Structure 1
């Protein structure tokens, strides 16, 4: 009889915990939550340290940090370049910057994989454009609109985003 009492007591305690736990859980908001507004082309993002989110504004040429309170801080800017492809590892943030190569002129392409540390020091890791010109790893792919898209349709896409051809 003495051995049954601890087992019954444990089961009763477990039942109370199971019943109380859902009542104390917080309700998560349903649907998406807006972290920041007024961003231009935020095409890449990565979770950073301290509940921050790093976001690239590709065509604006910026890498920004959005804190959990919605405050936006610029981390890196390269005027007239695209900044994209952000990723973090610890306190180091990696991103890609590129320019040129439009309208079928690959010799005008410039692009780099870079990193920026928590002190704001930027380092170039690799020249991606040189690798692209030498190896063309996606040369079998077609990008943009095909020749079957009419000029009338393409004219509906307005600046600052000309359609890819």
Structure 2
């Protein structure tokens, strides 16, 4: 007797995205980027290279920066995800978002959401470092996010500004 088995092609997952819980039926092949953009309408993270090399799709999963184009959504069941849309607080834009504007850290804006999410994670990773992270190390930490417009100088200035503000607040 020849038995044919049909394997499921999707699963139900629960995600908390930008503080809001979501339960979704997702295809097993869907990436986290697909779910964020196509199912939840959060289009800040961008599909750039779709190989994890450009950083345009960077979001935070459990506070860690990740390339959402490389993560299967089903593997993220139960996690907390923060996108660029979730960085601002009740009191307005995230300090880094304000610094990006003040330091002219963007041009076309395509990479900006991924740059912001990556930089937020870098700030958390390096907070309280003694000695403080220098510019060369900061550039290295941010190197996973490409900017075709060349706004790197402004991006580094913006992150350094937020670092300095945090240091002064201590």
TM-score, normalization: structure 2?
0.28
Greater relative contact order (Cα < 8 A, sep 6+): 2
**Bigger radius of gyration, 1 or 2?**
1
